[in-house]
């Protein structure tokens, strides 16, 4: 896999090249942008850490959906005429269809375009409010307890998520965790350009971010633990000495059983069915809203 020297967020805003290169740049940028909380109050174990996915692992549903819903309530964008764009995102998020280069280019270009020209401080303030309004009550108590076990053992705990790193850092701080690795957007003069740095923090990019952070923080990945609900996170799960499937999808459950990984499911019966399916649909909807709105804005010059 190509290895590139880490550059500034501005320098790597639109990275050409193959998916591996973009994933590496995204991972390196996320690790570089991640703030580090003070070490645990107990005797530290500096070589070990835990990495938690967010959507349906730490939180019920898709964090980006709740983020988009909160911004929509603040009149950041309209949701009219979104069906075609929701379908495009659904093909990627539900079907994992990454085979169409045109679709993937559109998704990358529009992923964070809904904050284009907005001040970072403004989005951070709204993110704090949206967490309180829509996210705090959706944290899985069982997963939060798992994270606390690592903190109590003197280990650092990181969220690893496709949600914007500014929001991811707020979630981590509110939960008392060490920090977060999230999708990094290009920032110029304190404002978002709407372009990604490298790639969405998804699949291989998560593994790259964990690798970069481990190198920076001196972690021994064989002593680290990764948690996720999705087979999309197999690259990250496979990096660590211990992998745990939390509220797993069908594919990840099968892989976890085959590899002897621990499975923790905090859903039960109807609750699992009720939460699991809407989570996928919500992720598709959120991607469609935020990506589609920008496409409409550019095509029809819609006001925010």
103 among known catalytic residues: no
35 among known catalytic residues: no
What angle do the packed helices 204-217 and 19-33 form, to 10 degrees?
Answer: 40
Select which of 11, 45, 53, 132 is catalytic. Answer: 53
Residues whose CB falls within 8 Å of the CB of residue 289, separated by 6 or more in sequence, listed in order: 68, 72, 77, 79, 82, 85, 86
| The two three-digit tokens of residue 126, written as one number | 């709204």
Question: What would the 3-class secondary structure string for the chain be?
Answer: CCCCCCCCCCCCCCCCCCHHHHHHHHHHHHHHHCCCCCCCCCCCCCCCEEEECCECCCECCCHHHHHHHHHHHCCCCCCCCCHHHHHHHHHHHCCCCCCCHHHHHHHHHHCCHHHCCCEHHHHHHHHHHHHHHHHHHHECHHHHHHHHHHHHCCCEEEEEEEEEHHHHHHHHHHCCCCEEEEECEEEECCEEEEEECCCCCCCHHHHHHHHHHHHHHCCCHHHCEEEECCHHHHHHHHHCCEEEEECCCHHHHHHHHHHCCEEECCCCHHHHHHHHHHHHHHHHHHHHHHHHHHHHHHHHCCCC
Select which of 20, 55, 102, 152 is catalytic. Answer: 55
Residues involved in catalysis: 53, 55
């Amino acid at each position: 896999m190509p290895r590139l020297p880490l550059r500034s967020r501005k320098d790597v805003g639109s990275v050409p090249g193959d998916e591996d290169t973009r994933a590496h740049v995204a991972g390196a940028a996320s690790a570089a942008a991640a703030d580090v909380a003070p070490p645990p109050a107990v005797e530290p174990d500096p070589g070990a850490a835990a990495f938690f996915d967010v959507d349906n692992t730490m939180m019920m549903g898709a964090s980006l959906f709740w983020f988009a819903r909160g911004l929509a309530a603040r009149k950041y964008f309209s949701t009219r005429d979104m069906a075609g764009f929701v379908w495009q995102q659904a093909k990627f998020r539900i079907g994992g269809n990454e085979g169409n280069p045109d679709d993937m280019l559109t998704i990358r270009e529009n992923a964070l375009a809904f904050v284009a020209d907005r001040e970072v401080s403004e989005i951070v303030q709204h993110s704090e409010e949206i967490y309180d309004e829509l996210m705090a009550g959706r944290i899985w108590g069982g997963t939060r307890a798992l994270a606390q076990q690592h903190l109590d053992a003197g280990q650092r705990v990181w969220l690893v998520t496709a949600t914007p790193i500014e929001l991811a850092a707020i979630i981590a701080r509110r939960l008392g965790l060490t920090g977060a690795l999230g999708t990094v957007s290009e920032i110029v003069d304190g404002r978002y350009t709407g372009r990604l740095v490298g790639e969405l923090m998804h699949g291989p990019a998560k593994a790259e971010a964990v690798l970069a952070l481990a190198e920076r923080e001196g972690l021994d990945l064989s002593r680290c633990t990764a948690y996720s609900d999705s087979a999309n996170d197999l690259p990250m799960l496979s990096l660590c000495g211990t992998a745990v499937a939390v509220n797993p999808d069908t594919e990840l459950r099968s892989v976890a059983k085959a590899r002897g990984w621990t499975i923790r499911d905090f859903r039960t019966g109807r609750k699992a069915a009720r939460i699991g399916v809407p989570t996928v649909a919500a992720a598709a909807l959120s991607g469609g809203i935020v990506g589609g709105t920008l496409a409409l804005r550019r095509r029809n010059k819609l006001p925010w």
